[in-house]
Structure 1
Amino acid sequence: MKMHQRIAALTLVGLAMVFGQGCGGEPGEVQSGESPRSTGAALACTTRITYGNAWIHGAGHPDMFDVADGSVTWDGRCVNEGTNSYAVLSNGWKPYFTGNNACVLAMDTNCAGAPACTSRITYGPAWIHSGTNTYDDVGGRVFWDRACVNESLNSYSLLSNDWKPYFTGSNACAMSFMYSGCGGLYQNPVLNVDCADPGVIFDGGRYIATCTSGGAADAFPIRTSTDLVNWSSAGFIFPSARKPTWASTDFWAPEIHLVGTQYVAYFTARHTDGKLSIGAATATSAVGPFTDIGRPLVHDTTMGMIDATFFTDTTGRKYLVWKADGNAVGQKTPIYGQELSADGLSLIGSRVQLITNDRTWEGGVVEAPWVVARDGYYYLFYSGNAYYNSTYAIGVARATSPLGPYTKASAPTLKSVTGWEGPGHGSVVNTPAGSSVMVYHAWNAGHTARVMLVDAIIWRSGWPAMPEAPSVSSRPMP
């Protein structure tokens, strides 16, 4: 069997090649930068091996994956060598990773008997347990932020599924992760260009995203994806020639929703009278072309109105939720909700204040609402505080009726971490697999753009949580 080996001592000095017999029966060698398939006849099945972000590889191999012939597995053991670590795969390959206990791999095969998404957590030698196994296999995606908490003479870590493994000694947490059949790995950001206020929906096999465009000639870029990680451009809601005649600039916070048999894009723009207002445009496809309805949907001559979102309650009634821009004039920033007509193009009934900024962490602002119905509750996600710095965060409130009253969670659900500042303005998306994720923005390292991130939502005791988010290292695909 030919083997492909990545060799590192304390630091990587290059890629090594191992010579031998190819899987298809022909001798061959793997050159640096090549996909490590055998050079003989291809087998009927292959395994895609995706490496975590700590993987040590050369410039000649820019991809974070390899494709190997046959079914390739790993027992989950991570071996430390100096300041690095390595895994030994079933075909003899030996990928190295920067740091001790840093092995993270995803194995996805099209071979017969391929498993459903499973996580294998392999524990280091200090793990406190009974029995002989050194690992656990768990259905679904489980991950860890590498935080290790000391408690008396021992230490523990908290995993995304609420498991709490203990280890003998201080700072002794050590685990490696293998994901089988989960679709690979990703690392934030999933869109490394300016994409503030992402509005994202799932639309029959693909995801649709659109972002704030400000004063750009073409308003609201549209992108599509099949996996929430790899995105392709699909035009604009409003190319320059199709912009609403009532709007002048400041095209903010768009969302595209299926309302009845048509798609409606709700958005913010500055009215020609100077007030920020909420508009609507329709299309027969989620990627347009969109036609503005010819007037603002929400317009107040005394107060700007921004950040509209749409949802349908469990009985089929439709609602618009938005924010009053009170912070621009030194006032509170209530978030309102009001019922919509069946076509989503006019308001009916009376508006109701759902929440306002009354918690310390929210500062002078609550904004960017998104509402989902789940398990008898309506969950109102929102952002609070100053969008331009690390105080910005995402909170949540819940109610048993679509227009409240809403009760806020005691603390934000998502806050800044080292590496990602000001996470906010999120869309909550349910994947075909039944999981929930949030797509949101955060500032890049240079603080020059708000880029798009994706992280998992876990539902615990009637509330959403986003463990180890914003994520900075590799995660299993959403």
Structure 2
Amino acid sequence: MKKNPHLMALVFAGAVSAFASGCGQEVPSPQEGDEALATSGDALACSTRITYGDRWIRPSGHTAQYDTAANLVTWDGTCVNEGTNSYAVLSNGWKPYFTGNNACVLALDTDCSGATSCSTRISYSAAWLPPSGHTARFDDVGGRVFWDRACVNEGSNSYATLSNGWKPYFTGNNKCGMSFRYTGCGGLYQNPVVPVGCADPGIIHDGTRYVVACTSGGAANAFPLRTSQDLVNWTSAGSIFPSASKPTWATGDFWAPEIHKVGSRYIAYFTARHSDGKLSIGAATSASALGPFTDLGRPLVHDTGMGMIDATYFQDTAGTPYLVWKADGNAVGQATPIYGQQLSADGLSLVGTRRTLISNNLAWEGAVVEAPWIVSRGGYYYLFYSGNSYANSTYAVGVARATSPLGPYTKLGEPILKTGGGWVGPGHNSVITGPGGDTYMVYHAWDSAHSTRMMLIDAITWPNGWPAVPEGPSADSRPMP
């Protein structure tokens, strides 16, 4: 049988991974992987994509984070320690190696018969303390479960907290050991998902794709746009305002854009500096989420005594539209209330009475609350917001909830997302449903060099009636949204 040279290279890639660990693993010959090969020029009857976690020991010259193999490839979740590394043995004989003990993380996605919906297998190390009657060394659960590798000591034992709230215990201090197999979840991703400047991301799904807009400041083209099918891989798609079509009333400081569908058209709500020097909220309309956008011709919200910024739009469960925004009091030594007010049906004028939803009254918020985003769920309106200084590690995301769209709102208290995982000052978030149906937070954070604010995403869970961002901001591999 003539071998497919591309697939032969993949077999070698798995073998080299074992050899590169320096642990003396015997390297299998290509012939031992014949079952994974197809005849040259023939289409594969079916195939499996194997995506490796971020601790994978990459073979020399292997630029991708995945391999594609012919036929159905499986793995039982067992992670074998060898020296200071570990490896998995796949059903086709491949042995990917990973840095560290119990460090195996793999995603298997196939178009073969037997493909399943997204599920997670968590396999426990020998130090695991199984519950009474639990004979297997693993747990299988539907959906996506992950861990940030934090291990908490408690007496002479230790435990880990998984994203679904499980707390497996292990004998001895710092003995938490688990491997993760994701099947049918679409692969793995790692933050950042936009590795360049993308502050204050506002996101929408327009029915066919995700569209995100970001702060542009004084750039020639205001509010760069990007599109994606999966929330992870993004493509540039122009801007809300190319240089020739910027609002005539605005002089600069183009901040915090969001695009929302209002009726049959799209409205971009944004912040810009008015010609009188005050930050103001504008609005522009388009038949498409990608534009072209036509500015209203004047600010939607303008106050000669106070800057107004960070607008967001939402509808209550009855379909009534609202605008929510922040008074920029911190710029003049005053409080920073977040206001809410009903909008006209076309989304282009305010009606009714303005209400104060929250203000900066908690210690962690410092002098600022800003960047609101509201979602309705289970009889509550949840107001996500950011607090403290965007420029440093004090910036974080908080949440409040109410049973009425204009409050009164009750704060959870402590932030649900703060500096960690190598990321500084996470905040100014949007909330969106991912392709798999889970809820995700899209937000910015400074990289460790503090050079720019990049775009990240992490899953939101809802324990006890409040949102949480388990193990966020994430730095390691996570299952695709």
TM-score range, shorter chain: over 0.9
| 3-state DSSP of counterpart to 1:344 | coil
What is residue 319 of structure 1 aligned with on the other side? 322
- SS state at 2:455 partner: strand
Which segments of 5 or more consecutive residues in structure 1 lack a partner in the other structure? 27-36
Q: Is 2:49 the counterpart of 1:52?
A: no
Mean Cα deviation higher: 130-139 or 279-288: 130-139
User: Greater shift after overlay, 124-133 or 178-187?
Assistant: 124-133
Deviations 1:373-411 (A, max 9, x none): 000000000000010100000000000000000000021
1:431, distance to aligned residue in structure 2 (A): 2.5
What code does the residue aligned with 1:313 have?
Answer: D
Aligned with residue 170 of structure 2, among 149, 167, 171 = 167
- For 2:225 and 2:234, the matched residues in 1 are separated by 10
Local SS of the residue matching 1:348? coil
Quote how far apart the aligned CAs of 1:12 are: 8.6
Alignment equivalent of 1:381, drawn from 368, 380, 384: 384
- Which amino acid in 2 is paired with 1:87? A
Does the CA-based 8 Å contact 1:196-1:212 persist in structure 2? yes
Q: Does 1:253 align with 2:264?
A: no
Superposition deviation, residue 147 in structure 1: 1.0
Partner Cα separation in structure 2 for residue 148 and residue 42 of structure 1: 46
Note the aligned Cα RMSD (angstroms).
1.9
What is the number of equivalent residue pairs in this alignment? 468
Residue by residue over 1:161-212, the C-alpha shift from the partner in whole angstroms, topping out at 9 and shown as x without a partner, is 1111111111111000000000000000000000000001122131110000
Q: Secondary structure at the match of 2:331?
A: helix
Describe the SS at the equivalent of 1:328. Answer: helix
Q: How does 1:192-211 map to 2 (within 5 A)?
A: 192-211=195-214
SS where residue 447 of structure 1 aligns?
coil
Provide the residue aligned with 1:142 in structure 2. Answer: 145
Residue by residue over 1:320-360, the C-alpha shift from the partner in whole angstroms, topping out at 9 and shown as x without a partner, is 00000000000000000000000100000111000000000
Q: 1:414-447 CA deviation, whole Å, 9 max, x = no partner?
A: 0001410000000000234321000000001221
Change (3 A) 1:261 1:25: closer
Give TM-score, length-normalised by structure 1. Answer: 0.95
2:352 counterpart letter in structure 1 = G
User: Quick check: which one's helix share is greater?
Assistant: 2
Aligned partners of 1:24 and 1:40 also within 8 Å: no
> TM-score, normalization: structure 2?
0.94
Give the aligned residue type for 2:91: S
**Identical pairs, percent:** 68
1:22, CA displacement in angstroms? 5.3
Choose which of 455, 459, 472 in structure 2 pairs with 1:469.
472
| Mean CA deviation greater in 199-208 or 258-267 | 199-208
Task: Return 5+ residue gaps in structure 2 as ranges.
Answer: none
Following superposition of structure 1 onto structure 2, how do residues 415-434 of structure 1 map, counting pairs within 5 Å? 415-434=418-437
Partner residue, 2:455: 452
How far has the Cα of 1:118 moved from its partner? 0.4
Deviation at 1:150, TM superposition (A): 1.3
Paired amino acid for 1:368: A
Letter in 2 for 1:109: T
**Residues 433-442 or 329-338, more deviating:** 433-442
Confirm or deny: 8 A CA contact 1:122 1:175 kept in the other structure: yes
Partner residue of 1:230?
233
- Tell me the amino acid that sits aligned with residue 140 of structure 2: D
| Matched residue, 1:34 | none
Quote the Cα distance in structure 2 between the aligned partners of 1:108 and 1:232. Answer: 24
Q: Kindly report which structure 2 residues correspond to 1:293-372, keeping only aligned pairs within 5 A, or say none.
A: 293-372=296-375
Q: In terms of mean alpha carbon deviation, does 12-21 or 224-233 score higher?
A: 12-21
Distance 1:232 1:194 in 2: 14
Amino acid aligned to 1:121: I
The answer to whether structure 1 residue 74 and structure 2 residue 85 are counterparts is no
Match of 2:267 in 1: 264
Structure 1 window deviating more from structure 2 (245-254 vs 81-90): it is: 81-90
Q: Does 1:20 align with 2:21?
A: no
- The CA deviation string for residues 2-48 of structure 1, in whole angstroms up to 9 with x for no partner, is 8542224665999966321554697xxxxxxxxxx775744311000
**Contact kept? 1:297, 1:345, Cα under 8 Å:** yes
Please say if residues 48 and 66 of structure 1, whose CA atoms lie closer than 8 Å, have aligned partners that are also in contact: yes
| Aligned mate of 2:247, from 228, 244, 249 | 244
Quick one: which amino acid aligns to residue 49 of structure 2? R
Structure 2 counterpart SS, 1:337: strand
Secondary structure of residue in 1 paired with 2:385: strand
What is the aligned partner in structure 2 of residue 119 from structure 1? 120
Q: CA deviation at 1:453?
A: 0.2
Please name the residue that 1:92 is paired with: 93
Q: Which residue of 2 aligns with 1:177?
A: 180
Amino acid corresponding to residue 113 of structure 1 in structure 2? G
Contact 1:7 1:16 in 2 (8 A): yes
**Letter of the 1:62 counterpart:** T
